[in-house]
Structure 1
Amino acid sequence: MYHTWMRFFTPSPVHHRLGLVCLGVGLQHGPLPAVGPRTLDHHVAVVVASGSGWFLGPDGRRAPVTAPALIWLTPGVPHHYSADPGTGWDESFVDFSGPATATYTELGYIDPDRPVVPLADAAPARAVIGRIARAARPGNPLLEVETAAAVHELLVALRQARADTTADGAPVLAALARDAFTPLTVAEHAARHGMTPAELRTAVRRTAGCSPKDYLLTVRLGRAKELLAGTELPVSAVARRVGYDDPAYFSRLFTRRVGTAPVHFRARQRVTLPGGWSTTVPDPEHKPTVSPCSG
């Protein structure tokens, strides 16, 4: 005996402009019947919280699925999968679509080349799916917007829960962020970690969804914004603090990526921040402790 609960939705064209829309949600457990072979026109994230089974992709090879795990079903790609008929599994799924799926794929949050992904923990994703299920209550006037927002959150939760990126991903990003303001090339950053530039690119893209150069630039510009908003340092000094000896080059780069010049960004943010500036992320349960930003 197996148990199934599912709901399906038809968002309007205006909801599709949110970037992502939820097309359905389901919770199932037990010795579920095999799915497919079939091909869909939208994405599905299948989260297997317990149990095991198999997945068969278009290459004809059967891959084992052992919980906790994620199965990606992508548009136009044939698939066939099943829980172990003896023990079954506990799964939850979300069907979704929208133009933002292309960006999430480019950033590595959706990985069509790896339909079966091991998870370190299925609980965060299951919690988001639970919220989608509760939003599916009859007569909910916010159904489409609530579920669309939750799909964005689900993709982030699944990205954070991937078990295959913890070992070489997070430490590399932390080290890059620490050294972001030093005048090192990508090759020199890679050498510091005993990697080739190609290996560093793979590790950073797998974790951050971008190249090492873009990741370093993001860290530098984030710090530059903090210094512009929270201090009275001249733009030239801000440029040097974040790793650029040429203030003119820094200003051009800042303007191109941020959309406004450093001086205009500062004017909009106000130089003096009431109460001071903190670089420590506050605990939501406690009031933040702030102190004047020294740069």
Structure 2
Amino acid sequence: MDNWSSYRHPALPLRDLGLACLGAGEQSGLLPSFAGRTLSSHGIVLVSEGSGHISVDGERFEVRAPAIMWLFPGVRHGYGPGPAGWKEHWLLFTGPTARAFEELGCYSRDSPLLQLDGSSERDLMEALGLFPALRAALSVGGHHSDLDASLICQRVLVEAGKQRNHGASGSPGDGEKLLARLHEMAHLPLSLPQVAASLNLTAPELRHAVQTATGMGPKELVIQLRMSRAQSLLADTDLPVQRVATLTGYDDPAYFSRLFTKKTGFPPSQFRRDHHRKSPH
């Protein structure tokens, strides 16, 4: 890997309304350490080889690859490799969408360092594999490359954010299997303990596993899956709303209609009018 870095003054709409990539780079070897820096933007540093340290607001943490370091605006920090050096991949980003990533669980100010285990190391390669495309986007001027860099940056954040969950659960594969089973069962009128029992789990175990894998609780996830199914049925079929409610796990069509309206912003009848494609007569 050759050492490189590229900085960007992005398009103002991305900075003010979305998420803008301000720069990125990859370095390896005996890099200089530093301390006491404060950024006005967010940052992420992926350490793929070696070991070192990071300090955040005066608290020092040891770092051993694979690891992810999250940097937050206004927070004093410093980091650097040990005597043998390390390999780091970093990017800087800003914009209101950064808050959405934080609230959706991609990263937390309470956890500036994420130490990964062997099961997560392979998945970290998904994020690292995006850096060549990010480098290419940052090397070209213009708004189109600003958009490319923004999208690639968000992809890196999503992949890195998954490691926060996988690092807690240990096995990403188990979480994927659990989510597949929940997707199959979401339309069944079962309580949380019943769903857990069918998966050979206790309710607390199910709650923890789903929260770890998705960043939301099992009840919230089931509602999301049911609403998605209901939207498809309303848009793609002529089934009455009462039947749609039943097929998505709700015996009470009035309750279904209230919940659908709350979650989507539209009552079922209006959603159907807006999205249903009627056959020509």
The interval holding the TM-score normalised by the smaller chain is 0.7 to 0.9
* Equivalence for 2:9: 10
What is the correspondence of 1:51-66 to structure 2 with a 5 Å cutoff?
51-58=50-57, 60-66=59-65
CA shift at 1:109, angstroms? 1.0
CA shift at 1:177, angstroms? 2.3
Q: Choose the corresponding residue for 2:74, options 69, 73, 76.
A: 76
CA shift at 1:257, angstroms? 1.4
SS in structure 2 of the partner of residue 35 of structure 1 = coil
CA shift at 1:138, angstroms? 4.7
* Equivalence for 1:245: 251
Q: Choose the corresponding residue for 2:201, options 194, 203, 211.
A: 194
1:97 aligns with 2:99: no
For the structure 1 residues 59 and 200, does the alpha-carbon distance in structure 2 shift closer, same or farther, using more than 3 Å as the test? Answer: farther
Q: Choose the corresponding residue for 2:268, options 256, 262, 272.
A: 262
For the structure 1 residues 76 and 186, does the alpha-carbon distance in structure 2 shift closer, same or farther, using more than 3 Å as the test? Answer: farther
CA shift at 1:142, angstroms? 2.4
CA contact (8 A) 1:173 1:204 kept: yes
Q: Choose the corresponding residue for 1:174, options 170, 180, 183.
A: 180
Question: Greater shift after overlay, 73-82 or 168-177?
Answer: 168-177
Amino acid at match of 1:120: E
Q: Choose the corresponding residue for 2:141, options 128, 134, 139.
A: 139
CA contact (8 A) 2:11 2:143 kept: no
* Equivalence for 2:217: 211
CA contact (8 A) 2:25 2:91 kept: yes
CA contact (8 A) 1:107 1:208 kept: no
CA contact (8 A) 2:48 2:88 kept: yes
SS in structure 2 of the partner of residue 91 of structure 1 = strand
* Equivalence for 1:225: 231
SS in structure 2 of the partner of residue 36 of structure 1 = coil
Query: What CA distance in whole angstroms lies between the structure 1 residues aligned with 2:228 and 2:99?
Result: 25
Q: Could you tell me the TM-score, scaled by structure 2's length? A: 0.83
Structure 1 stretches lacking a partner, 5+ long: 275-295
CA contact (8 A) 2:226 2:248 kept: yes
What is the correspondence of 1:13-32 to structure 2 with a 5 Å cutoff?
13-32=12-31
What is the correspondence of 1:143-162 to structure 2 with a 5 Å cutoff?
143-161=145-163
Structure 2 stretches lacking a partner, 5+ long: none
Backbone CA RMSD of aligned residues:
2.7
CA contact (8 A) 1:108 1:206 kept: no
Q: Choose the corresponding residue for 2:189, options 163, 183, 186.
A: 183
SS in structure 2 of the partner of residue 268 of structure 1 = helix
- If each structure's helix is expressed as a fraction of its own residues, which one has the higher value? 2
CA contact (8 A) 1:232 1:271 kept: no
Work out the percentage of aligned pairs sharing the same amino acid.
Answer: 36
Query: What CA distance in whole angstroms lies between the structure 2 residues aligned with 1:18 and 1:183?
Result: 40
For the structure 1 residues 193 and 23, does the alpha-carbon distance in structure 2 shift closer, same or farther, using more than 3 Å as the test? Answer: farther
Query: What CA distance in whole angstroms lies between the structure 2 residues aligned with 1:73 and 1:13?
Result: 22
For the structure 1 residues 201 and 77, does the alpha-carbon distance in structure 2 shift closer, same or farther, using more than 3 Å as the test? Answer: farther
SS in structure 2 of the partner of residue 120 of structure 1 = helix
Query: What CA distance in whole angstroms lies between the structure 1 residues aligned with 2:187 and 2:22?
Result: 44
Amino acid at match of 1:194: L
For the structure 1 residues 273 and 17, does the alpha-carbon distance in structure 2 shift closer, same or farther, using more than 3 Å as the test? Answer: farther
Query: What CA distance in whole angstroms lies between the structure 1 residues aligned with 2:223 and 2:170?
Result: 22
SS in structure 2 of the partner of residue 113 of structure 1 = coil
SS in structure 2 of the partner of residue 24 of structure 1 = strand
Q: What are the Cα deviations for residues 176-221 of structure 1, in whole angstroms up to 9, with x where unaligned?
A: 3232223333354445553453x54443333222232221111001
CA contact (8 A) 1:230 1:271 kept: yes
Query: What CA distance in whole angstroms lies between the structure 2 residues aligned with 1:203 and 1:98?
Result: 31
